[in-house]
């Protein structure tokens, strides 16, 4: 019994030691991608925060397994909490879709601050310059100087034509 407790403690310590190492490696990777594509510091910081939350979730999941928590009761409690949170987030689905779209825009689309783009919308076409890219929104400016705050999810849904790269 004592040997089992020591193994659990040692394994938990290893997980706690690995967390900052994995976090550092992840941050280094994000910084390298940001330098390669010349992404703004704000965008890079947003992705780092999001990935850190994911890493913490994984660490907690591993620790629950190591400590031998009764997963049947834990899963029942988590499913109940998830159902309540799911109903609450369903009302706020746009928040989650914008966060997810922000991550996709960061890694997949080669958009940078200062780029001139056309948003190809048949009802409301826009020719704008990207001023800033945030977690939920992209800040745009028209040629007339009008500031537009455009949701990240719409950036993915609408066609985009890049007119001029910075």
Judge whether 74 lies within some domain. Answer: yes
The pLDDT, as a whole number, for residue 93 is 66
Overall domain count for the chain: 2
pTM of the model: 0.54
The pLDDT, as a whole number, for residue 147 is 95
Domain final residue pick, 58, 91, 124: 91
Q: Same structural domain for residues 133 and 53?
A: no
Predicted confidence (pLDDT) per residue in 100-159, tens digit: 787 777 777 778 888 899 988 888 888 999 998 887 888 999 999 999 999 888 888 888
Judge whether 82 lies within some domain. Answer: yes
Whether residue 18 is predicted with pLDDT greater than 90 in this model: the reply is: yes
Give the CATH number, domain containing residue 155. Answer: 2.30.30.60
Domain that holds residue 30: 2-91
Q: Is the pLDDT higher at 96 or at 6?
A: 6
Predicted confidence (pLDDT) per residue in 38-79, tens digit: 777 777 888 898 889 889 988 988 888 888 777 677 677 777
The b/e string for 52-89 (b: 16+ C-beta within 10 A; e otherwise) is: eeebeeebeebeeebeeeeeeeeeeeeeeeeeeeeeee
Confidence of residue 86 (pLDDT cuts 50, 70, 90): low
Judge whether 142 lies within some domain. Answer: yes
The answer to whether the CB of 138 falls within 8 A of the CB of 126 is no
């Amino acid at each position: 019994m004592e040997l089992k407790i020591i193994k659990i403690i040692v394994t938990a310590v290893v997980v706690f030691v690995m967390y900052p190492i994995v976090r550092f490696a992840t941050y280094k990777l994000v910084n390298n991608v940001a330098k390669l594509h010349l992404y703004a510091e704000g965008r890079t910081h947003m992705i780092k925060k999001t990935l850190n939350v994911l890493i913490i979730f994984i660490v907690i999941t591993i620790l629950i397994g190591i400590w031998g928590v009764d997963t049947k009761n834990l899963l029942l409690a988590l499913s109940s909490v998830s159902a309540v949170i799911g109903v609450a987030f369903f009302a706020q689905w746009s928040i989650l879709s914008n966060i997810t779209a922000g991550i996709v825009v960061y890694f997949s689309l080669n958009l940078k601050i200062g780029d001139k783009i056309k948003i190809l919308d048949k009802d409301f076409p826009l020719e704008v310059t990207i001023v800033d890219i945030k977690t939920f929104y992209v800040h745009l400016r028209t040629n007339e100087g009008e500031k537009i705050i455009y949701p990240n999810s719409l950036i993915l849904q609408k066609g985009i034509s890049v007119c001029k790269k910075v």
